Amino acid sequence: MSQEPLLTVEGLSKSFGGVLALSAVDLTVHAGDILGIIGPNGSGKTTLVNAITGFVHSDRGKVVFKGRDITNWEPHRIADLGLTRTFQVMRPYYSLPAYKNLIVPLFSRRARRSGGWRGGGKTGSRDTVAVDILEEIGFERDSYVPYKTASSLPTGYLKRLELARCLALRPDLIMCDEVFSGLSMSEMASMVPLMEKLQMEGITLIMVEHRLRELFRLAKRVMVLNFGCKIAEGTADEVLGTKEVKEAYFGSEEEVLSHV
């Protein structure tokens, strides 16, 4: 592709004490793409998300986003540039109603700058915008769900709330850390079109997933991590065909293939 990639990661490494959680991982994502990241438990997927978004300090390597070297920037500055992330272990403000959860991101300079949310100075206007975003992400507007306390929401809605927090910033790229896990089949079925819609709106997505079937419906390109190393990258079929991947998923190989 002639176009500059949106995100380039080169040789990103991180170890925790003796554990090498990431070792020299490279990746490139172009604007508008969906990149899938898979790997067995503890293979370093979350660490990769953390290291790119500034939540952990990487030891070596380089992260370039929109042509700027953002290696080891503070998380809020990276988010301010348009690179957002969801948390695998969801972090809503449990005591607040769902829509009030979005007030914090809507209060950020990025959200105010983009102005698209019309979040002017008038009191209450952020509340309206928040409900709009929740509707976009699948909270039924006329139901009571957007007004329920986050602690009483089921996992499916909390995952959506994680995405909504990112969307409130009008991001260029969202790194989704396992938005499908913990969802029921029907919740998952409604999540896939949602992700497609985000892509259509021009948001680039990096999706860390265990659910291969849903991931492969969305992501044209997938990379596989194992013990912190990238062991394969390519289309779904290419990746699942490689020997290393079969070995990495050894024992669960049948399961992997049966998902597809």
Binding site for other proteins (CB under 8 A): 53, 55, 74-77, 79-80, 84-85, 87, 91-96, 100, 103-111, 123, 126, 165-166, 168-169
Nearer to Mg ion (CB atom), residue 159 or residue 170: 159
Nearer to other proteins (CB atom), residue 109 or residue 220: 109
Nearer to Mg ion (CB atom), residue 33 or residue 178: 178
Residue 19 binding ligand ATP, by CB under 6 A: yes
Q: Report the Cα 241 to chain-centroid distance in Å.
A: 26
Closest by CA position to 105, among listed 220, 91, 95, 182: 91
Each residue of 224-250: b (16+ CB within 10 Å) or e? bbbbbbbbbbeebeebbeeeebeebbe
Nearer to Mg ion (CB atom), residue 58 or residue 88: 88
Nearer to ligand ATP (CB atom), residue 40 or residue 146: 40
Among Mg ion, other proteins, ligand ATP, none, partner that 43 touches (CB below 5 to 8 angstroms by kind): ligand ATP
Contact mark string toward Mg ion, 60..89, x via CB under 5 A: ----------------------------x-
Cα 245 to Cα 210: distance, rounded to the nearest angstrom: 14
Binder of ligand ATP out of 26, 42, 59, 234 (CB under 6 A): 42
Sequence-distant (6+) residues with CB within 8 A of 55 are: 49, 75, 85
Residue type, 162: E
Among other proteins, ligand ATP, Mg ion, none, partner that 179 touches (CB below 5 to 8 angstroms by kind): none
Residue 39 binding ligand ATP, by CB under 6 A: yes
- Counted residue by residue, the chain has a size of 260
Residue 41 binding ligand ATP, by CB under 6 A: yes
Sequence-distant (6+) residues with CB within 8 A of 57 are: 14, 51, 72
Q: Which residue is listed with tokens 């604007």? A: 31
Residue type, 147: Y
Least Å distance, CB 86 to Mg ion, is 11
Least Å distance, CB 46 to Mg ion, is 3
Nearer to other proteins (CB atom), residue 40 or residue 105: 105
In angstroms, what CA-CA distances link 133 with 43, 129, 254? Answer: 33, 6, 40
Residue 88 binding ligand ATP, by CB under 6 A: yes
Closest by CA position to 80, among listed 4, 172, 195: 172
Residues that bind Mg ion (CB under 5 A): 45-46, 88
Residues that bind ligand ATP (CB under 6 A): 16, 19, 21, 39, 41-47, 88
